Structure 1
């Protein structure tokens, strides 16, 4: 077997894929919400499949609050694994 095939197989394992996706979460968040919202995001923490997000701007916080379900689905779609079950915005 080639080394590339072994690595590809390794990173496809659910636990490993989830950890890689979790490490990429800040970049994924920026891609989804844009630079403006990502710049005022002060906390982005994943615990037990719940994403906790702290936003400085009350206007953006309200806007993202109503988009929680869409944010969750987009994060999971881009991650390729079921990473987030709920998004809590504070």
Structure 2
């Protein structure tokens, strides 16, 4: 199984789409990264230049998430296995 995973990663890298696939994975996994409560009031929109853009439904939540930003970035990068996100913009 590890061989298959390694082969797939190499194929994605050779095709030049590894980064895009990992970025999509962050967007798709957003609810499980932050949990249901936060996922209900946010939406992961896109990643540009290693910055994750998160739409937040309420300014109170936007402020709270700002304080959690470093922890969220760490969770994302640990889950992906590389430094795919260096900042988050909540809007």
Asked if Structure 1 and Structure 2 have the same fold, meaning a TM-score greater than 0.5 normalized by the shorter chain, the answer is yes
User: Shift of the alpha carbon at 1:6?
Assistant: 5.6
Hey, what does 2:9 align to over in structure 1? 11
TM-score (norm 1): 0.75
Corresponding residue pairs, total:
87
Q: Which runs of 5+ in 1 are unaligned?
A: none
Q: Tell me how far apart the structure 2 counterparts of residues 23 and 76 of structure 1 sit (CA, whole Å).
A: 13
Q: Secondary structure at the match of 1:87?
A: strand
Name structure 2 gaps, 5 residues minimum.
none
Q: Which structure exhibits the higher relative contact order, with contacts defined as CA atoms closer than 8 Å and separated by 6 or more residues?
A: 1
Which residue number corresponds to residue 20 of structure 1? 21
SS of corresponding position for 1:24: helix
Is 1:53 aligned to 2:54, yes or no?
yes
Map of 1:11-90 to 2, 5 A cutoff?
11-12=9-10, 13=13, 16-90=17-91
Aligned-residue CA RMSD (Å) = 2.5
